[in-house]
Amino acid sequence: MTVTRDEVEAANQKAVGQMMDSEPTWIDIAPAARKMELRGKKLLHAGPPMAWKDASGPMRGAIIGAVIYEGWADTEKKAVRLVEEGEVVLDCDHHHDAVGPMAGVISPSMPVFELEDKKFGRRTYSNMNEGIGKVLRYGAYSKEVLDRLRWMAETVAPVLRATVGRIVKANGGFPLKPMIAQALTMGDDCHNRYVAATSLFAKQIAPYMVRTGYDPKTLSEVSKFIDGNNFTTLNMGMAAGKAMTLAGHGVKYSTLVTVMSRNGTDAGIWVSSLGKKWFTAPAPVPKGLWFPGFTESDANPDLGDSSITETAGYGGFAMAAAPAIVSWVGGSVQAALDVTERMYEITQAQHKHFLIPFLDFKGTPVGIDLRKVLKTGVAPTINTGIAHREAGVGQVGAGTVTFPIQIFKDAFAAFVDKYGA
Amino acid sequence: MTINVVGEADGSKGLEAGEECELSRSGIRARSVEVTVEGARPYRSLLRRRGAVAFPGPGDLAKGVALLRSLYDASPRGPSLVSDLLFRRFAEGRLVQAAGGARRLGFGDFLGLVGRGGGFTPAGDDFVAGFTSAFNYISRSKGLGQIVISRALVSSRTVPESAAIMVYSSKGYVDEGMERLILDSLGGRAFSDDLMALASRGHTSGLDMSLGVLLAEAVGSGAEDGGRALRKCLAALGR
C-alpha cells in the first residue's frame, strides 16, 4: 500500500486542524514528582535524548545545579559523579509531555505548571521561569541561582497554586490560547517577547490572587516577581504549544512536524505520523545580539524546547507581529517580517486564532510540512536565547537560528520508507 | 578565483541567455565575450567517462520516485509533469517498451515532451535533460548507442536556455548536484539525499530532472529485470 496525495493532504489538514482547535488551560502548579510522577533520581532535559558525555556546558551546568538543588549531592564533583555513574537518570522532557526553555531541566521537587487540553484531554507540563541572566536554564548553578529556585518553589508556587485553584473553581482554569492570541496583537511573538502576555496574565490572575488568603507581604513579593520578569508566561506558553502540537501528533500519513527541539548538542524533530522517533543533527549556533562583554565565540549551540512555540505557529513564525523583538534578538523589522513571510512557504495553514495585525490580520503560519521544507529548501527559523558554552555562566545573548535541513531530509526519507513505496 | 570578462572591439560585454559557448583553455569563450577564470580547478565531467554501472534495485528506484511524487504534491503548482496525460502515455508506452527490450529509444521519442509544461525551463525539457544525461552515461559505459539531441529541432520547440541545457546534459555536461545523483545511484550508494538536495531547484525543475534520471535508470536496468523496476516506478508515480 502506498499513501496517496489526497490521504496526505487530508492527514495534514486533520493534524493542523487539531493543533488549532486544542484548548490548553492552566489548571494547577505543583512539584513534578506529584504531577508527572517523576520518581527517584531522575532529571528531565530539553531536546532529543542525550548522554552525559555528550552534554554541552550549559546543559551540564543545569544538570549539576538540579542535582545539588534536590540534595542528592552537595558539591559539583559529587553531582557529576552521580550522573556519570548512572545513579541520576536523564530523560527528555518531551517523553513526559513536558517542555522547558533552554536546558529545560525539571527535577522531582521543582514545581511544574500543569495544563489540560479541554478539547482533547491531554495534560502537558513546564517548569517555572526564573528570569534572565544567571539562571539554571542557561547553565548557571551558583548559590544565588539555587536559592532563587527554592524561594520560587516555597513562596511563588504555593501562591500561584492557590490562585489557580480559585480560577479553576470559577472558570474551569486559565485558558492560554486567548492570552497568546491577544498578546500577538499587542506586539509579542510569544517566544522571546512575552511583555504583553505577562501583563495580561498578571492582570487576569490578580482578582483571584488577592483572595488566596496569603499575607500582603507575600502577595506583594510574588506580584513583584511576576512583574519583574517578562518571561514569566514563556513556560506556560510553551506548555500550551506542547498541548497544541500533541493534538496534531499521531495522525497517520501526516507529514507535519510536531516537535522541534534542541539540547545544546543536537537538534531534533518529531513527525506526526512517525511516532516518537527523533530525527537529529548537530545543533546550530544562533546569530544575534550579545550581552555586554560577550561575542559569538562564547555561544553554545542552540538549546531548549522553546521551539515548540514555532512548531505550534507562533514565536519566530509570528515575528511580524512583534517588531520590537528585533531590539532583543537582532536584525531589522523588515527581517522579522521576512521570516514570517518565508514560513508561509513551508506550512500547511494560516492559524485561525493567532492573527497578525500588520499583515491585515492574516493567520500565523502553522503546521510545518516536511515536504514543503524540502521542496523550497527553506528550513524553519526560530528565535532563541543564547547560552554561554561553559557551565555556570548563564545567558550571553539572544538571536535567531535556522534548523538544519538534514533533519527534515532524514525524516522525509523515513516517511517514504514507511508509507511511500 | 577571479573572473575576467573581456569585451569585444565594439565594446559589448556580457553573455546572452542561450548563447553558444565553448570551453577555452582559460575559461569560457562565447560569441560576444570571453570569460577568463583564474584559480578555479578545471571542470571535468565524470559523466563523459565510462564508469562501472550498478543499477539500484527496483525497490530503491521506486522509493526514489515515490519520494519525488510526494514532493511534487507539495509544490505550489501541483504535480504538473506527472499528471500530464501526454507524459503518462509516453512513460507507459515508449519507456515500458524500451525497458522490455521491444523498442530502442531515439531522440524522436522525446520530441513531444520538448517545450511541454510551465516554468522558465519547461518541465518536459527538464525531464529530457535528466533522462538523457543518465541514459547516455549508462549507454556510454556499456558501449551502447546514445540518444543524440538535435539542437536545431529542440530550438524550434522551446526557449534557447532550455535547448542548451538539454544538449549539454545529453553530452554529460551537468551540474554537480545532478552528477552526484547519477553517480551515487549508479554506484551502489544511497541517493535519497541527492534527490532531496535537487528538490528545491526552481518550481519543479529539480524534481523533473531527478525523475528523468530515475526513469532512465529503470529503463536501463530493463535488460536485467525485464522492466520490473520501471513498472514499480510508474506504480509509485501513479498514485
C-alpha cell at B121: 525551463
Greater confidence, A291 or A20? Answer: A20
Q: For residue A139, what pLDDT is reported? A: 92
| SS3 call for A355 | strand
Are residue B74 and residue B122 in the same domain, yes or no? Answer: yes
Residues of chain A numbered 395-414 and touching chain B (CB < 8 Å): 406, 409, 412-413
Q: For residue A394, what pLDDT is reported? A: 86
> Could you say which of A2, A255, A369 has the minimum Cβ distance to residue B66?
A2
Query: Does B63 sit within 8 Å of A420, measured CB to CB?
Result: yes
For residues B38 and B46, what is the distance between their CA atoms, to the nearest angstrom? Answer: 22
Query: Does B71 sit within 8 Å of A376, measured CB to CB?
Result: no
**Is A390's pLDDT higher than 70?**
yes
Are residue B31 and residue B62 in the same domain, yes or no? Answer: no
Query: Does A374 sit within 8 Å of B200, measured CB to CB?
Result: yes
Greater confidence, A292 or A407? Answer: A407
Are residue B61 and residue B18 in the same domain, yes or no? Answer: no
A8/B contact by beta carbon, under 8 A: yes
A297/B contact by beta carbon, under 8 A: no
Are residue B62 and residue B176 in the same domain, yes or no? Answer: yes
Are residue B31 and residue B60 in the same domain, yes or no? Answer: no
A102 close to A115: Cβ distance less than 8 angstroms: no
Q: For residue B80, what pLDDT is reported? A: 80
**Is B76's pLDDT higher than 90?**
no
**Is B154's pLDDT higher than 70?**
yes
Q: Which of A92-101, A269-278, A296-305, B26-35 has the lowest mean pLDDT?
A: B26-35
Please provide the size of chain A in residues.
421
- What total of structural domains would you count in chain B? 2
Are residue B81 and residue B182 in the same domain, yes or no? Answer: yes
Q: Which residues of B touch A4 (CB under 8 A)?
A: 239
Alpha-carbon Rg for chain A, nearest whole angstrom, is: 20
Mean pLDDT, chain A, whole residue set: 95
Q: Stretch A363-388: mean pLDDT, rounded?
A: 95
For residues A364 and A339, what is the distance between their CA atoms, to the nearest angstrom? Answer: 11
For residues A25 and B61, what is the distance between their CA atoms, to the nearest angstrom? Answer: 48
**Is B42's pLDDT higher than 60?**
yes
A417/B contact by beta carbon, under 8 A: yes
Are residue B221 and residue B204 in the same domain, yes or no? Answer: yes
Are residue B15 and residue B50 in the same domain, yes or no? Answer: no
**Percent of residues in chain B assigned helix, strand, coil, to nearest 5:** 50, 10, 40
Q: Stretch A259-266: mean pLDDT, rounded?
A: 97
Are residue B9 and residue B113 in the same domain, yes or no? Answer: no
Query: Does A3 sit within 8 Å of B239, measured CB to CB?
Result: yes
**Is B2's pLDDT higher than 80?**
no
Are residue B174 and residue B61 in the same domain, yes or no? Answer: yes
Are residue B92 and residue B27 in the same domain, yes or no? Answer: no
Task: State which residue of chain A sits closest to B205, comparing Cα positions.
Answer: A375
Residue with cell 491585515: A360
Are residue B68 and residue B27 in the same domain, yes or no? Answer: no
Domains and CATH numbers, chain A: 249-420 (3.90.1700.10)
Residue with cell 514569566: A232
C-alpha cell at B126: 527538464
| SS3 call for B83 | coil
Query: Does A2 sit within 8 Å of B236, measured CB to CB?
Result: yes
Range of the domain at B9: 2-38
Residue A231: which residues within 8 A CB-CB, separation 6 or more?
A101, A129, A131, A132, A194, A198
The secondary element (H helix, E strand) that includes residue A112 is: strand A111-117
Q: What 3 state SS string does B155-167 have?
A: HCCCCHHHHHHHH
Residues of chain B numbered 48-87 and touching chain A (CB < 8 Å): 59, 62-63, 65-67, 69-71, 73-75, 79
Return contacts of A415-419, CB within 8 angstroms, 24+ apart.
A415/A255, A415/A271, A415/A273, A415/A274, A415/A370, A415/B70, A416/B63, A416/B66, A416/B67, A416/B70, A416/B192, A417/B63, A418/A273, A418/A274, A419/A2, A419/A3, A419/A253, A419/A273
**Is B8's pLDDT higher than 60?**
no
Confidence grade of residue B239 (pLDDT, cut at 50, 70, 90): low
B166/A contact by beta carbon, under 8 A: no
The secondary element (H helix, E strand) that includes residue B172 is: none
C-alpha cell at A260: 522541534
C-alpha cell at A54: 555528550
For residues A309 and A383, what is the distance between their CA atoms, to the nearest angstrom? Answer: 10
Q: For residue B1, what pLDDT is reported? A: 41
B234/A contact by beta carbon, under 8 A: no
What ipTM was assigned to the predicted interfaces of this complex? Answer: 0.78
Q: Select the residue from A345, A348, A374 to test the B interface by mutation, using most B Cβ atoms within 10 A.
A: A374
Q: In terms of Cα–Cα distance, which of A144, A127, A131 is closest to A65?
A: A144
Mean pLDDT, chain B, whole residue set: 87
For residues A370 and B71, what is the distance between their CA atoms, to the nearest angstrom? Answer: 9
Q: What is the pLDDT of residues A147-185, one digit of tens each?
A: 999 999 999 999 999 999 999 999 999 999 999 999 999
Task: State which residue of chain B sits closest to A369, comparing Cα positions.
Answer: B74
